[in-house]
Amino acid sequence: MDIVFGTDVSLGNIHYGLLFTDHYSHMTYLYPLQNLASDIVKELESFFAHLGFCPKRLIFDFDTKLIGGKSREYLNHLKIHVNAAPANRQDPNGLAERHWQTMTAMGRNWLASVELLAKFWYYAVKHAAEVFNYFPIKLEDDTWSTPLELAHGIKPDLRVLFKVFGLAAVCRERNGDCRVGKFDKFQLNTTSGACFGYKYQAGTFFYRLDETTSIFSPKYALDTSVYIHTHSPPSIATIIGIPTYKNPKRWIFI
């Protein structure tokens, strides 16, 4: 179990996400959080209702929002055993973290492919979780299955995996003498961002929330005109690349 977030408030006033990964099946679940107070307990209730039972044990990192306050009171009331990793030792929660890395890579690629803004981040990683649950995995007896089938006993239905953020023309049933099929209605040559006039935000990042991380807010936005004090008088440049956590002082100008 982990708390995750993107670079912007997502549509629907979603600030964070509550991520669950089942140790046995690797089934992944993601629930939206508008705040880190009452919403955590509410989404825990939704998760348990979806499962149909309360798990015996939950593992997460050393996050006081999960191991303390109303969340811990609620879990104690249900007699759920809580294992929290020691501070600065996140490896015991590595399963959820590794799944999150895969989901964010998928989500970033989808946002880039359709040229959408960072405020769509939650829906990108939500869809990534759904696709992740359809990934084939090899069992110890050399047979193949999926997280969905192991967790719920249901075989995946690949027909529900539509292209995320895709455009579809639904008002036209025929193309000349040919009837247009369901999947023929998708518009593959136009991105959603361009169609609705959005300006793509390059460098969209997703994060985990723990006791040390915070949302990274660059001092200047992309395409901003700034003065570079390399000589006198200073020259004007446009920012085309923003700093990252690995290079917090590095700006790219043109």
State the Cα–Cα distance between residues 8 and 89, nearest whole angstrom.
27
Beta pairing, strands 174-175 & 252-253: unpaired
pLDDT at 162: 76
> Could you report the per-residue pLDDT of 116-168, keeping only the tens digit for each?
888 899 999 999 999 989 989 888 889 999 999 999 898 888 877 777 887 76
State the Cα–Cα distance between residues 227 and 232, nearest whole angstrom.
11
pLDDT above 80 for 53: yes
Every domain of the chain and the residues it spans: 2-160, 218-253
CB 5 within 8 A of CB 15: yes
Instruction: Supply the DSSP symbol for 191.
Output: -
pLDDT at 92: 58
> Could you report the per-residue pLDDT of 12-38, keeping only the tens digit for each?
999 999 999 998 899 999 999 998 888
SS (H, E, C) 10-33: ECCCECEEEEEECCCCCCEEEEEE
pLDDT at 38: 86
Beta pairing, strands 2-6 & 206-209: antiparallel
CATH of 2-160, one of 3.30.420.10, 2.30.110.10, 3.30.413.10, 2.60.90.10: 3.30.420.10
- pLDDT band for position 211 (50/70/90)? very low
State the Cα–Cα distance between residues 194 and 198, nearest whole angstrom.
6
pLDDT at 27: 93
Average pLDDT, the chain: 80
pLDDT above 90 for 47: yes
Instruction: Supply the DSSP symbol for 220.
Output: S
pLDDT above 70 for 189: no
* Strand spans (E) along the chain: 2-6, 16-21, 28-33, 57-60, 81-84, 137-138, 144-145, 167-168, 174-175, 178-179, 186-187, 206-209, 225-228, 235-241, 252-253
- pLDDT band for position 179 (50/70/90)? confident
Find the mean pLDDT for residues 211-229: 66
pLDDT above 50 for 214: no
Global pTM value: 0.71
pLDDT at 71: 87
